[in-house]
Chains A and B, each alone.
Chain A
Amino acid sequence: MADGGIGAAITRKEDRRFLAGRGTYTDDINRPGQVYAAIVRSPHAHARVKSVDVSQALAFPGAVAAFTGADMAADGVGGLPCGWGITQIDGSPMAEPPHPVLQAERVRHVGDPIAVVLAETRNGARDAAEKVAVEYEVLDPVIDTARADADGAPRVHDEARNNICFDWQIGDAGPVDAAFAKADKVATLNLINTRMATCAMEPRAAVAEYESGTGHYTLYTSSQNPHVIRLLLGAFVLNIPEHKLRVVSPDVGGGFGSKIFHYAEEAIVTWAAAKVGRPVKWTAERAESFVSDAQGRDHVSKAELAMDGDGRFLALRVSTHANLGAYLSSFAPLVPTYLYATLLAGQYATPAIHATVRAVFTNTVPVDALRGAGRPEATYLIERLVDEAASVAGLDPAEIRRRNLVPPDAFPYQTPVALAYDSGNYAETLDAALKDGDYAGFETRRADAKARGKLRGIGLAAYIEACGAAPSAIAGQLGARAGLYESAEVRFHPTGTVTVFTGSQSQGQGHETTFAQLITERLGVPVENVEVIHGDTDRIPFGMGTYGSRSLAVGGSAIARATDKIVAKGKKIAAHILEASEDDIEFSAGTFSVAGTDRTLSIGEVAGAAYVPHNYPLDELEPGLDESAFYDPANFTFPAGCQLCEVEIDPETGTVEVVDFTAIDDFGRIVNPMIVDGQVHGGIAHGIGQALFENCVYDGASGQLLTGSLNDYCMPRADNLPSFRTDTRETLCPHNPLGVKGCGEAGTIGGAAAVMNAVADALKPLGIGHIDMPASPYHVWQAIHQSRNKTA
């Protein structure tokens, strides 16, 4: 290991500025002469817009301009595009209704934008926006995921009959039906995967400016993928050629999926900046975030597992209703299909699987990827079902898992639902979790809790995820409307320091450190001499951004490829200067040497020679030492692991306390263990959050979001969580140059399932079956009391 290279838990380069209050988030950016935008949003879940009158707003002191959907339409502004198309079971394309930036005719969820008001001050813009008069004809909304497709339900879009966006399936129904017909035992579960609000702590913000002299636009936006925003905004919405549009995402205060998507406000400020000839700034208030950031999950499923007499899984059958909300967010169709149902094999060698997914529109905020995106939904379903199966089969939950795991010698393992797992050792992570979490000693702790009047439960979650999306050609066949590679440029400067330009986009993951460590490892340049640049379409060659735990596996691999090119060119330069044959040049730890001699040249000296080419093979080699690479992955990566959670429930109050949590993960090779640990901690907290606290609740009659503030939407806080016990095991990813798999979502993917299995285990002695998330005091107390009333 090079000093500070791969495997070193060094502290982060970015922390000094964050800790000193010197980060630059989008709302910290101010442009000379800027005006502030306030968005007028629908207070109704479903209504016809009869008229919009901005005259009073314009008359407000300090108001600069006000625009409506009609103004945008008159300028030929397009709708917000969807980046993934699904082909339905019958071969027809999904319903893809238009998604205007500002609504002129109909509003489809509380928070749907109608108009924008610009004013000299932030407060002034808000005040003036209140003066916009909108006349509505209120319509009945449709909210409920499972009943959105009922005959007679209000229709969200004329283009989607029965509110169905698509009916889709994966796997083969024939063998599944046959297996169920001969099964000894069947476990069945109906479950709801609740809707979550992402709640990155930095609310979204956007600042745009237009230079009329050059026709150049610049948009600063809090995004996980500025190049993707440039493409969607430029090519589909505003018709701005890409070379005239710069998108910058400076420091991003958390994303977790919600900052992948292209949002109306980005188009509004960019378009309005040219309209008024002044920079335009918009920052979401938290209340706006709740009704304008895409939300996550929201599935209603039925799952059945067929087993033989020994509890071996024969077949899995799943049907899911997935709520997409009011419009198709940028990648919404992908989440409940290829990121969900393809993971339904879990870690198990179930020979036959069939899943159907019906995706529906409702009058709620659009749903898209949220940390884990489809994989937490799959893991929750499988892992709850496997616990149910253990009950049905009369087996211990750990034992039934062990019996069904894909064995370590089966890789590559082709699942019945499209994916080919590349590597892993699931028994190893299961055993480690059981050992580290003292599974064997649990009954003593349960008895001890009982003596204290508490119900204690233990729960496992063995998860797998598919990360590092994806081979572009395969993604294209499945409906992706973009490629999924990553780009990198490694630029040596004449004095030997290095700037790395990456298309990955940190929202807190620590790329500035991890990627610098790759350079240290591969080129021998100390971490402090490496600067990592991201988040600016004018500086980075290209980028697909950061989501799906892809930064290291795809972005890091692109950097690795670029370093290979640096070494290859460096060898040529060194051969010339050292007067040796290129074949005799070796490179290690930053030094080129002639094999078997003591003649050496540092990479810094080679860089110097490349930029001051006085003694240089100019007839065959260009000066400079600056290489770029695009890396398109050969397969997904498959991080996997096992989590073990213990809870204690106070039967008097229904309060669930997570008292112990163990996570053993296989992320492949680990570059910075400190950062990886941190990612796991945050992920687990997110999973516990969904299991116990968080839930977007809409009023069924009015469609109002009842949990529309941090007062009402319960985020996990420090005193709701324990410290976590984490460790890793390593099987290397065989198909990327670094052997890495990705770690950003694992904690969340297994977390909710582990907690809910523990809750179910704690309540089992009371005869309580499955309860849905969140296991809030109220829900748990209700379940306890219903069971007491039953037995009384």
Chain B
Amino acid sequence: MTVSFSMTVNGKPVKGECEDRTLLVQYLREHMGLTGTHVGCDTTQCGCCTVHIDGIPMKSCTMLAVSADGCEVTTIEGLAKDGQLHPMQDAFRENHGLQCGFCTPGMVMSAIGIVDRHRGEKLDEKTVRHELEGNICRCTGYHNIVKAVLAASEVMNKA
């Protein structure tokens, strides 16, 4: 069955139509060509597919496209403003928080969520590690990702 819905993706209104069982991540990647959001598993474990739904990190492999009806969706492609990377993206680059880059979009989206949840607090390593638990990275051993999140939280809290 075909379903239709409307949502905002990276600030632009989108009127969508797809097979009812289409996952949000499939819709973003295959219908909209937003291939920055990745699929790393089929059991909601890896977090490669994390996007923001109304500002909250969600695994887009675990919701239907149609359930994003009326929502504001932000993907990794929508983070940079006027060619300026988001402070979290910058921090990943500065701290070598990525290697193959496959987990990275999901990591960045989750990491922004961590800082958002602790606005105004001084984040510590333990909290970051605990709250990154839904995202798997095979390359970095997380060491530099944690450093990046802590660095970005300083910048984001000043902004």
Name A's B-contacting residues (CB within 8 A).
11-12, 14-25, 27-28, 30, 121-123, 199-203, 251-254, 256, 283, 285-287, 507-510, 674-675, 677-679, 681-686, 709-711, 715, 717-719, 721, 723-724, 747
Tell me if B75 and A21 are in contact (CB < 8 A): yes
Tell me if B93 and A253 are in contact (CB < 8 A): no
Instruction: Specify which chain B residues have a CB less than 8 angstroms from the CB of A17 in the assembled complex.
Output: 101
CB<8 Å pairs between A and B, sample of 25? A19-B89, A21-B75, A25-B35, A27-B29, A200-B102, A200-B138, A201-B136, A202-B38, A285-B42, A286-B42, A287-B42, A507-B100, A508-B100, A677-B144, A678-B96, A678-B144, A681-B144, A682-B138, A683-B141, A685-B141, A710-B43, A711-B43, A718-B145, A719-B129, A724-B141
Instruction: Specify which chain B residues have a CB less than 8 angstroms from the CB of A18 in the assembled complex.
Output: 98, 101, 104
Since A201-B38, A508-B100 are in contact, a sample of 6 more A-B pairs with Cβ atoms closer than 8 Å, ordered by chain A residue number, is: A19-B98, A21-B77, A23-B36, A30-B30, A200-B102, A678-B140
Chain A residue with minimal CB distance to B125? A723
Q: Which of B41, B92, B140 contacts A15 (CB 8 A)?
A: B92
Instruction: Specify which chain B residues have a CB less than 8 angstroms from the CB of A710 in the assembled complex.
Output: 41, 43, 45-46, 136
Taking the closest CB of chain A, its distance from the CB of B63, in whole angstroms, is 16
How many angstroms from the CA of A632 to the CA of B99 in the assembled complex?
Answer: 28
How many angstroms from the CA of A27 to the CA of B49 in the assembled complex?
Answer: 14
Q: Which of B35, B89, B132 contacts A28 (CB 8 A)?
A: B35
- B32-58 Cβ-contact flags toward A at 8 Å (1 or 0): 001111111111011010000000000
Q: When A254-B102, A678-B99 are in contact, do A199 and B140 touch as well, CB less than 8 Å?
A: no
Tell me if A717 and B133 are in contact (CB < 8 A): yes
Instruction: Specify which chain B residues have a CB less than 8 angstroms from the CB of A121 in the assembled complex.
Output: 19
Q: Which of A15, A21, A684, A723 contacts B146 (CB 8 A)?
A: A723
- Asked if B135 is at the interface of the complex by the 8 Å CB criterion, the answer is yes
Interface size class of B (residues with CB under 8 A): 35 or more
Taking the closest CB of chain B, its distance from the CB of A541, in whole angstroms, is 25
Tell me if B40 and A123 are in contact (CB < 8 A): no
- Asked if B139 is at the interface of the complex by the 8 Å CB criterion, the answer is yes
Tell me if A19 and B93 are in contact (CB < 8 A): yes
Tell me if A721 and B142 are in contact (CB < 8 A): yes
| Chain A to chain B: the 7 pairs with minimum beta-carbon distance, closest first | A21-B36, A508-B100, A253-B102, A18-B101, A685-B141, A508-B99, A21-B76
- Asked if B108 is at the interface of the complex by the 8 Å CB criterion, the answer is yes
Tell me if A709 and B42 are in contact (CB < 8 A): yes
Chain A residue with minimal CB distance to B26? A122
Tell me if B140 and A681 are in contact (CB < 8 A): yes
- Asked if B117 is at the interface of the complex by the 8 Å CB criterion, the answer is no
Chain A residue with minimal CB distance to B130? A719
Instruction: Specify which chain B residues have a CB less than 8 angstroms from the CB of A254 in the assembled complex.
Output: 99-100, 102, 138-139
Q: When A256-B138, A286-B41 are in contact, do A718 and B19 touch as well, CB less than 8 Å?
A: no
The prevalent SS among residues of B at the interface is: loop
Instruction: Specify which chain A residues have a CB less than 8 angstroms from the CB of B102 in the assembled complex.
Output: 23, 25, 200-202, 253-254, 508
Tell me if A201 and B138 are in contact (CB < 8 A): yes
Chain B residue with minimal CB distance to A20? B80
Instruction: Specify which chain A residues have a CB less than 8 angstroms from the CB of B21 in the assembled complex.
Output: 123
Tell me if A20 and B130 are in contact (CB < 8 A): no
Instruction: Specify which chain B residues have a CB less than 8 angstroms from the CB of A253 in the assembled complex.
Output: 38, 100-102
- Asked if B94 is at the interface of the complex by the 8 Å CB criterion, the answer is yes
Instruction: Specify which chain A residues have a CB less than 8 angstroms from the CB of B26 in the assembled complex.
Output: 122
How many angstroms from the CA of A15 to the CA of B104 in the assembled complex?
Answer: 10
- Asked if B105 is at the interface of the complex by the 8 Å CB criterion, the answer is yes
Tell me if B101 and A508 are in contact (CB < 8 A): yes
Tell me if A718 and B93 are in contact (CB < 8 A): no
Tell me if B93 and A682 are in contact (CB < 8 A): no
Taking the closest CB of chain B, its distance from the CB of A61, in whole angstroms, is 12
- Asked if B103 is at the interface of the complex by the 8 Å CB criterion, the answer is yes
Q: Which of A16, A286, A685, A718 contacts B40 (CB 8 A)?
A: A286
Chain B residue with minimal CB distance to A23? B101
Taking the closest CB of chain A, its distance from the CB of B52, in whole angstroms, is 13
Tell me if B101 and A14 are in contact (CB < 8 A): yes
Tell me if A123 and B143 are in contact (CB < 8 A): no
Instruction: Specify which chain B residues have a CB less than 8 angstroms from the CB of A122 in the assembled complex.
Output: 26, 30
Chain A residue with minimal CB distance to B108? A19
Chain B residue with minimal CB distance to A747? B141
Instruction: Specify which chain A residues have a CB less than 8 angstroms from the CB of B93 in the assembled complex.
Output: 11-12, 15-16, 19
Tell me if A718 and B43 are in contact (CB < 8 A): no
How many angstroms from the CA of A97 to the CA of B93 in the assembled complex?
Answer: 48
Instruction: Specify which chain B residues have a CB less than 8 angstroms from the CB of A718 in the assembled complex.
Output: 128-130, 132-133, 135, 137, 142, 145-146
Instruction: Specify which chain A residues have a CB less than 8 angstroms from the CB of B75 in the assembled complex.
Output: 21
How many angstroms from the CA of A723 to the CA of B96 in the assembled complex?
Answer: 14
Taking the closest CB of chain B, its distance from the CB of A472, in whole angstroms, is 29
Q: When A19-B108, A718-B132 are in contact, do A201 and B40 touch as well, CB less than 8 Å?
A: yes
Q: Which of B22, B99, B135 contacts A510 (CB 8 A)?
A: B99
How many angstroms from the CA of A677 to the CA of B96 in the assembled complex?
Answer: 9
How many angstroms from the CA of A27 to the CA of B142 in the assembled complex?
Answer: 25
How many angstroms from the CA of A25 to the CA of B101 in the assembled complex?
Answer: 10
Taking the closest CB of chain A, its distance from the CB of B38, in whole angstroms, is 7
- Asked if B155 is at the interface of the complex by the 8 Å CB criterion, the answer is no
Tell me if A719 and B133 are in contact (CB < 8 A): yes
Taking the closest CB of chain A, its distance from the CB of B27, in whole angstroms, is 12
Tell me if A203 and B40 are in contact (CB < 8 A): yes
Instruction: Specify which chain A residues have a CB less than 8 angstroms from the CB of B140 in the assembled complex.
Output: 678, 681-682, 685
Tell me if A11 and B145 are in contact (CB < 8 A): no
Instruction: Specify which chain B residues have a CB less than 8 angstroms from the CB of A251 in the assembled complex.
Output: 100-101
Instruction: Specify which chain B residues have a CB less than 8 angstroms from the CB of A719 in the assembled complex.
Output: 129-130, 132-133
Tell me if A21 and B141 are in contact (CB < 8 A): no
Instruction: Specify which chain A residues have a CB less than 8 angstroms from the CB of B139 in the assembled complex.
Output: 201, 254, 508, 678, 682
Instruction: Specify which chain A residues have a CB less than 8 angstroms from the CB of B94 in the assembled complex.
Output: 11
- B117-137 Cβ-contact flags toward A at 8 Å (1 or 0): 000000001001110110111
Chain B residue with minimal CB distance to A723? B143
How many angstroms from the CA of A714 to the CA of B30 in the assembled complex?
Answer: 30
Q: Which of A15, A686, A711, A747 contacts B98 (CB 8 A)?
A: A15
Which residue, A199, A202, A718, has most C-beta atoms of chain B within 10 A? A718
Tell me if B38 and A25 are in contact (CB < 8 A): yes
- Asked if B85 is at the interface of the complex by the 8 Å CB criterion, the answer is yes
Q: When A199-B138, A286-B41, A683-B141 are in contact, do A20 and B89 touch as well, CB less than 8 Å?
A: yes
Chain B residue with minimal CB distance to A283? B39
How many angstroms from the CA of A12 to the CA of B99 in the assembled complex?
Answer: 9
How many angstroms from the CA of A30 to the CA of B42 in the assembled complex?
Answer: 21
Taking the closest CB of chain A, its distance from the CB of B23, in whole angstroms, is 10
Tell me if A21 and B35 are in contact (CB < 8 A): yes
Chain A residue with minimal CB distance to B75? A21
Tell me if A682 and B99 are in contact (CB < 8 A): yes
How many angstroms from the CA of A586 to the CA of B129 in the assembled complex?
Answer: 53
Instruction: Specify which chain A residues have a CB less than 8 angstroms from the CB of B42 in the assembled complex.
Output: 285-287, 709
Instruction: Specify which chain B residues have a CB less than 8 angstroms from the CB of A11 in the assembled complex.
Output: 93-94, 96
Which residue, A121, A254, A509, has most C-beta atoms of chain B within 10 A? A254
Instruction: Specify which chain A residues have a CB less than 8 angstroms from the CB of B100 in the assembled complex.
Output: 200-202, 251-254, 507-508
- B13-27 Cβ-contact flags toward A at 8 Å (1 or 0): 000000101100010
Tell me if B76 and A201 are in contact (CB < 8 A): no
Instruction: Specify which chain A residues have a CB less than 8 angstroms from the CB of B98 in the assembled complex.
Output: 15, 18-19, 508
Tell me if B48 and A201 are in contact (CB < 8 A): yes
How many angstroms from the CA of A254 to the CA of B38 in the assembled complex?
Answer: 13
Taking the closest CB of chain B, its distance from the CB of A89, in whole angstroms, is 38
How many angstroms from the CA of A514 to the CA of B132 in the assembled complex?
Answer: 29
Tell me if A509 and B137 are in contact (CB < 8 A): no
Instruction: Specify which chain A residues have a CB less than 8 angstroms from the CB of B36 in the assembled complex.
Output: 20-23
How many angstroms from the CA of A122 to the CA of B46 in the assembled complex?
Answer: 21
Instruction: Specify which chain A residues have a CB less than 8 angstroms from the CB of B34 in the assembled complex.
Output: 21
Taking the closest CB of chain B, its distance from the CB of A105, in whole angstroms, is 30
Taking the closest CB of chain B, its distance from the CB of A354, in whole angstroms, is 36
How many angstroms from the CA of A747 to the CA of B3 in the assembled complex?
Answer: 50
How many angstroms from the CA of A27 to the CA of B35 in the assembled complex?
Answer: 9
Chain A residue with minimal CB distance to B85? A19
Taking the closest CB of chain A, its distance from the CB of B93, in whole angstroms, is 5
How many angstroms from the CA of A201 to the CA of B101 in the assembled complex?
Answer: 9
How many angstroms from the CA of A21 to the CA of B25 in the assembled complex?
Answer: 14
How many angstroms from the CA of A28 to the CA of B77 in the assembled complex?
Answer: 14
